[in-house]
Amino acid sequence: MDKRYSKRYAVFFDADIIFGTRRENCFIKNISGNGLSLQTESDERGIDFTPGNIFNLKIRLSSEETLDLQCRLVRACEIPAGEQDGKPAYSLGMEIISSFSGYKSFYNNVAMKKIRDLVNSMISNFYMI
């Protein structure tokens, strides 16, 4: 049985995951109302990806706008080095524990855009029949 409480939406946003003084570039793969999935580009910085650790996450929405979150690591899966230019990387699941600047609004905007895109696609397909 799925434990998720809200729908997940596939996205792609560049971000930085921050643990203490260490910072690692990553990208957001999907979001939900209370969590997100991301992937690090590599593990060059030696960040401790132990479930339960608290991280700050800075998502780049545009060249001028970022979204700052505090998250708890729920799961971490190492991606073999051969798939990432010879450097290990991680797929991470995070629970959002604090939003510093409007995550709920961001999530709702993404959800509405995905729904609009789906409806527009269905309309386009209907008229092609």
Instruction: Print pLDDT tens along the chain (129 aa).
Output: 455 567 888 899 999 999 888 888 899 999 998 899 999 876 566 788 899 999 999 999 888 888 899 999 999 998 876 555 667 788 999 999 987 667 888 888 888 887 777 777 777 777 765
Cα–Cα nearest to 90, from 13, 19, 24, 31: 24
Q: Tell me how far CA of residue 71 lies from CA of 18, 36, 51, 115, 116, in angstroms.
A: 10, 9, 11, 26, 29
Domains of the chain: 9-128 (2.40.10.220)
Spatial separation of the C-alpha atoms in residues 129 and 121, rounded to whole Å: 13
